[in-house]
């Protein structure tokens, strides 16, 4: 028997109804607006959420997620037991755990929007490069780049010098966010990045809270912009190929 979320399946001796995607969430307070990975209405398919307790944005972004791997593995396994057929996360900085998480669960894992960089690079004309806008340029290290196989000379810029976005999503000290100011931070960062690197032919947004602003950034810089939404919709199409 089929359900709206997919065919009936069995795992571990229990009958479950699988949702295509399990999302490992950081423990945050800021609003999850439409387009954000944490807003269930963002996704045109069923998702399962699991908050990883203790995984604050400060610990994951500013402290390199030290000491949190086991908690993420346990949460990912819980989602798989509930029927998730693939796993992603609500923070691109978990690229640092891509290999470890993929090895720990028995389903496909895509920890970070940064996984798209090589795919997007392959689409560009010779001489053009992918640039990245991240929530914290000072925190994006070679360990994160190595986690998803990216070159160390990848051009990127953070929004941490802006007025609102990084304060809201990293420090998470308030339960509200000035969405207009947050968008302006991303536009300012994107324009600065492209002006500094005129060879950039496309932009990837690292942060999973940036998709609400992707269209505005694309218009502002005149380039394709990719984010966690573009990656996960592609990812899910492999789990549920369209029938023609």
What interhelical angle do 214-221 and 179-196 show, nearest 10? Answer: 40
- Residue 12 has a pLDDT of 43
Per-domain residue ranges of the chain:
2-112+231-239, 113-227
Q: What are phi and psi of 24, to 5 degrees?
A: -85, 115
**155 three-state secondary structure:** coil
122 CB burial (10 A radius; 0-12, 13-18, 19+): exposed
Distance of alpha carbon 48 from alpha carbon 99, whole angstroms:
22
Q: What is the pLDDT of residues 174-189, one digit of tens each?
A: 678 899 999 999 999 9
Q: What are phi and psi of 127, to 5 degrees?
A: 90, -10
Task: Report the CATH fold assignment for 113-227.
Answer: Rossmann fold (3.40.50)
Question: Confidence band (pLDDT; 50, 70, 90) for 20?
Answer: confident
pLDDT at 198 over 90: yes
Does the structural domain 2-112+231-239 have CATH classification 3.40.50.1860? yes
DSSP letters, 183-207, are HHHHHHHHHHHHHH-TTEEEEEE--
Question: Looking at 5-14, 16-25, 26-35, 190-199, which range is the least confident one?
Answer: 5-14
pLDDT higher for 14 or 86? 86
Specify the DSSP class assigned to residue 2.
E
pLDDT at 14 over 80: no
Distance of alpha carbon 210 from alpha carbon 196, whole angstroms:
21
Q: Which residues pair with 49 in a beta bridge?
A: 23
Give rounded-to-5 percent helix, strand, coil for the chain.
Answer: 40, 20, 40
Q: What is the pLDDT of residues 60-79, one digit of tens each?
A: 999 999 999 999 999 999 99
pLDDT at 19 over 70: no
Closest CA to 90 of 118, 57, 64: 57
Same fold, 2-112+231-239 and 113-227: yes
């Amino acid at each position: 028997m089929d359900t709206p979320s997919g065919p009936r399946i069995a795992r571990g001796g229990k009958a479950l109804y699988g949702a295509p995607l399990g999302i490992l969430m950081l423990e945050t307070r800021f609003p999850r607006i439409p387009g954000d990975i944490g807003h269930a209405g963002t996704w045109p398919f069923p998702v399962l959420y699991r908050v990883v307790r203790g995984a604050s944005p400060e610990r994951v972004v500013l402290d390199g997620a030290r000491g949190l791997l086991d908690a993420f593995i346990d949460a990912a396994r819980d989602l798989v037991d509930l029927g998730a057929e693939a796993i992603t996360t609500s923070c691109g900085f978990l690229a640092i755990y891509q290999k470890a998480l993929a090895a720990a669960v028995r389903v496909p894992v895509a920890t970070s929007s940064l996984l798209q960089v090589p795919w997007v690079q392959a689409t560009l004309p010779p001489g053009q490069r992918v640039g990245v806008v991240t929530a914290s340029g000072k925190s994006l290290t070679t360990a994160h780049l190595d986690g998803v196989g990216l070159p160390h000379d990848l051009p990127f810029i953070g929004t941490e010098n802006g007025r609102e976005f990084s304060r809201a999503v990293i420090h998470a000290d308030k339960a509200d966010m000035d969405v207009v100011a947050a968008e302006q931070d991303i536009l300012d960062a994107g324009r600065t990045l492209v002006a500094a690197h005129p060879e950039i032919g496309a932009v990837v947004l690292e942060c999973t809270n940036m998709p609400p602003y992707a269209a505005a950034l694309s218009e502002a810089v005149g380039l394709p912009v990719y984010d966690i939404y573009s990656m996960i919709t592609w990812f899910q199409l492999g789990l549920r190929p369209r029938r023609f």
